[in-house]
Each structure stands twice: as C-alpha cells, then as structure tokens.
Amino acid sequence: MFTIAKTEATRGLWPVSKAPLAEPGQGMVRIDVLAAGICGTDYHIYSWDAWSSARVKTPMTIGHEFVGRITAIGEGVSGFSIGERVSAECHIACGACRFCRTGNAHICENTRIIGVDRPGAFAEQVEVPASNLWRVPAAIPDAHAAIFDPVGNAMHMVTSAGVTAKDVLIVGGGPIGLFAAAIAKAHGARTIALQEPNPARAAIARSLDLDLVVNPREPGSVAEILALTRGHGPEVVLEVSGNAAALNAALDIAAPGATFALLGIPAGAVTLDLGAKVVMRGVRLLGITGRRMYETWYQVEAFMLKNPGLMDKVITHILPATEFARGFALMDEGACGKIVLDFANISGGRLQ
C-alpha cells in the first residue's frame, strides 16, 4: 500500500510502499483511508524542527487527521460494523491516569499520538483503537470529515477562552486561526480582528466577513485594532502563530485582564516579561492542546453540519495523495488554506 513517511532525520517526506495491514488486534479496527488533512504538526515533522526531531522516531508513517471506512474489526470490539465511515481522535489516552479518570484525557500523561508516536493515517490503511473512533454523519462530506481534528483544536481554544460578547484578536491566519475566527463568530464574539501577513491567507480571512483583517507588519495595524476595540484592546487573544514576537506584541495591546489561549507551537523558547505584561495586568494564559474527549467532537459535528460553506472557504486544495509534495510546497509558500489529501483515488474510488 502507498504511505507517506518520515524515513530520514532531515527535512522532507517520502513515499513508501508497505504491505497491507494484518488483521487488527484486540480492541482495534482497520480503516481504509479516504481522505487526510495536512496538519501543522505534519509540517513540523516535514520541516524537522527542534520539536519534531526530539519526538518522532524514524521511520514513521505520519498523518493523524483522516476519515475512512472500517474494513476489519478486532476481537473485543462492539458497536461498529464493516463499511462504517469514521474519523478518529488522534490522541490515544491510557484511560487509567489521574487526568483520564477526571475527564481530562486530552492531557493524559501517557498519550500516544497517531502519526507521531505510532504509524499514522497518511496511508491507504490505518489501525486505530475502537475507543477513539467517531462515526461521521452522512451529511458531512469526506473533505470536511477528514479534518475534525484541527477544527476541534480551534473549537477547544475558542470555548476555553470564552469569546461570547468579547472583543477577540486572532494572531495567525493559518487554517486553525481561520477556523477559530469562524467559530468565534458563531459563538457571538462582539468583534473579531485577525492578524495575518500572508496575502493569500488574509484574503481567506476577509471572505469570512470578520470585523478587521490586518497585516501586523504594516504601520497603523495596532491603531486599527485599538479603534475597533474602543481603545481598550482585545479581551480575548487566540494565539495560533507560535511566533514569539507576535505573542509579545499582542500582550502589549491586550486589555487588562485579557485571556490568552495559546495553541501555536513556537520553534524554540519564548521570552516574556511576565511581571509587567502578565502578572501586573491580570492576564490569564491558557495552554491549549488537543480536544476535550469527546465534548469537543460533538461541538465540531454540530458546527460542520450548520456551516458547510465556511468549511469550504478554508479548505483551498484537495490533492491526490500521491501529490503530497505539492501540498507541503504550498504550505512552504503560504499559498493555501487547509489542504486535504485524497487517498480514495489511489484505489479507484471517489470522495463523498
């Protein structure tokens, strides 16, 4: 079968032909992948930055955002049947630690991630614990169903920060920032401003009918944000860029008592003046990881069913899986929104 793997400890990804998966083990299911989204985490692994080189062991089939159909069911699995269309939570929690037992499996201390710590979904087949599966309603198309995971990141960030009736600033207009903007709008944010220097992504943001889209590198962008927020600055900041300078700049203009939800992964250590910028101004910092299992998934399903047009604005490319290199090149250039890889075409199928 065709897979996309990290085979060398250097920048890049490579196509690898592997034998089809064997029958799934206890509690597991085998899924034929229909579509898979390219995630920021995949891009980190492709780039082979400090985080990915310290975490990922080569060779590794990557990819964790996907939708597919069940083709084999292991012993001990009930409630699922061959042919069902499913997505899956990519964080495999242990179910036994303190965090799992208190409803916080998204921060399980023994988490293993599909496509990072174990073989992933950039393949014609993937094996996943049945407990991680999510049935996908027929009304949600494959390209949308493949990216429950990143939309879930955005949903978790927005709902954790509490945006209703607040002035919101989104730092970074990549796919998760764009999804977060749409979700914040659906959750009744008073105003939404988005910072994005890349023209292609800024254009997608403008198509979402936000209150303000600015290039943070342009003079006057701070004044525009302050004018939108009646001079006091944003009350909620959703940081998805992972850019240290952008985070510090947002702290400078945020309202006293602002909530910062941090999802972007910095390339290295970030220096902050915690005393002046956080403590003395009563700012709240929230680290956001993964999705709440499975509250966030219900929220994402409802959002997708009600907002298919918004999803299509953010998904800018659906590429044959064999053209994955083009997808990562587009990400290098910043010339895209969300990219979905079509695995169904490899076996002569078609996406729903």
Distance CA 213, CA 206 (A): 6
Q: Give which of 174, 180, 175, 176 is closest to 192, Cα–Cα.
A: 180
Q: Which of 3, 7, 10, 44 is catalytic?
A: 44
Query: How many beta carbons lie within 10 A of that of residue 322, not counting itself?
Result: 15
The pLDDT tens digits along the chain (352 residues) read: 999 999 999 999 999 999 999 999 999 999 999 999 999 899 999 999 888 999 999 999 999 999 999 999 999 999 999 999 999 999 999 999 999 999 999 999 999 999 999 999 999 999 999 999 999 999 999 999 999 999 999 999 999 999 999 999 999 999 999 999 999 999 999 999 999 999 999 999 999 999 999 999 999 999 999 999 999 999 999 999 999 999 999 999 999 999 999 999 887 889 999 999 999 999 999 999 999 999 999 999 999 999 999 999 999 999 999 999 999 999 999 889 999 999 998 877 788 8
Q: What residue spans in the chain does CATH classification 3.90.180.10 cover?
A: 2-150+291-347
Question: Can 41 be counted among the known catalytic residues?
Answer: yes
Structure tokens at 292: 């709440």
Q: What residue spans in the chain does CATH classification 3.40.50.720 cover?
A: 153-287
Q: What is the pTM of this model?
A: 0.93
Q: Which of 41, 191, 296, 316 is catalytic?
A: 41
Inter-helix orientation angle 295-306/148-161, to 10°: 110
User: Beta strands 167-171 and 191-195: pairing type?
Assistant: parallel
Question: What would be the CATH architecture of the domain defined by 2-150+291-347?
Answer: Alpha-Beta Complex (3.90)
Q: For every residue of the chain, which 3-state class applies, written as one string?
A: CEEEEECCCCCCCEEEECCCCCCCCCCEEEEEEEEEECCHHHHHHHHCCHHHHHHCCCCEECCCEEEEEEEEECCCCCCCCCCCEEEECCEECCCCCHHHHCCCHHHCCCCEEECCCECCCCECEEEEEHHHEEECCCCCCHHHHCCHHHHHHHHHHHHHHCCECCEEEEECCCHHHHHHHHHHHHCCECEEEEECCCHHHHHHHHHCCCCEEECCCCCCHHHHHHHHCCCCCCCEEEECCCCHHHHHHHHHHCCCCCEEEECCCCCCCCCCCHHHHHHCCCCEEEECCCCCCCHHHHHHHHHHHHCHHHHHHHEEEEEEHHHHHHHHHHHHHCCCCEEEEECHHHHCCCCC
State which fold the 153-287 domain adopts.
Rossmann fold (3.40.50)
Question: Can 106 be counted among the known catalytic residues?
Answer: no
